[in-house]
Amino acid sequence: MEDGNSRNQMFSTAERALTVSLWANMILMIVKLLAGHFGHSDAVFADGLESATDLLATAAGMAALKIGSRPLDSDHPYGHGKAESIAAFFVALVILATGGGILYGAVITIAGGNYGKPEIIAVLAAVVTIAAKESLFHYTRRVSRKTESPTLEAIAVDHRKDAITSVATLIGVGGAWFGFYLLDPIAAGVTSFFIFYIGWKTFRSASNDLMDGRPSREIIAGITQTAASVEGVDRVYEIRVRRSGHKLIVDMKLDMDPRMTVLKSHGIGNQVRKRIFEKFPGVGDIMIHVHPNEEEHETQ
């Protein structure tokens, strides 16, 4: 099993990133709702509503991270990491619903022809949002890569989605401020399709984890090579890897000399675990089954 101190440190790092995202989304939500309302910009106000859904999603992510950090017990022998994938799934649904709401509002505005001239405060709010969200994306993505948390990865992607949304919002509200009033709702409508795409990617990733889909081929290949490099292991006969929250669960069969004692094969298995844990801190548990190398036995 992974070291308890390392697990607690990763949890604290991930929780801190989520806390930063929570407060940032709350501040940006208030700024955009006020700027959109008093600055007479439907696009900026809709952006504020989007931040409200982000706030809800981040809060759900924090709750899931706390649940997912709980140690394994008799009812959950593989731990509680799936709670993070469930939260990522929820975030994806929120993103998709937000995209649908923005698209609907843009269509209604264009069809009704109710355009208004925005104030400069709305333009400034869009600029501030772009800078803040892009910074949050890079920070959260960096932490998500370090902790290998699917919840943080989903939140990071959501920050990037917000930055893209705000670029389109800036084009729309900026154009409307210069007199091209139709650009405001058009920009909102175009942005919704970016949101749909990002929501779909997050949905697919979370679904893959919930269905015990394998991680990247590079990770599996790296774990296989590490195990095969241990003296006494003839080859990795079979390996299965799945994700449980920010942890990877590894099941593998190792070919060894059939004449080897149980004690010696057990020691080699422990050495394999040690090397994998050292090289892949995201691995939470490893199950090893010793398989007799029948080919080697037949040639003796």
Q: Mind listing the pLDDT tens digit for each residue in 3-34? A: 556 656 766 787 788 888 888 888 988 999 99
Q: Which residue's structure tokens are 């650009």?
A: 183
CATH match of 4-210 with 3.40.50.720: no
Which residues of the chain are in CATH 3.30.70.1350 domains? 217-299
How many angstroms separate the most distant Cα atoms in the chain?
87
Q: What confidence score (pLDDT) does residue 249 get? A: 87
What are the two backbone dihedrals, phi and then psi, of residue 220, each rounded to the nearest 5 degrees? -60, -45
Q: What confidence score (pLDDT) does residue 134 get? A: 93
pTM of the prediction?
0.61
Q: What confidence score (pLDDT) does residue 246 get? A: 66
- Is 88:205 a contact under the CB 8 Å cutoff? yes
User: Quick one: tokens of 54?
Assistant: 């982000």
- Is 188:76 a contact under the CB 8 Å cutoff? no
CATH match of 217-299 with 3.40.50.10680: no
Per DSSP bridges, beta strands 247-256 and 235-244 are: antiparallel
Which residues of the chain are in CATH 1.20.1510.10 domains? 4-210
pLDDT 10s digits, 75-134: 776 667 777 778 778 888 888 888 888 888 888 888 887 777 888 999 999 999 999 999
User: Quick one: tokens of 296?
Assistant: 């080697």
Q: Which helix (H) or strand (E) holds 228?
A: helix 217-228
Compute CA 249 distance to the chain's CA centroid, rounded to the nearest angstrom.
18
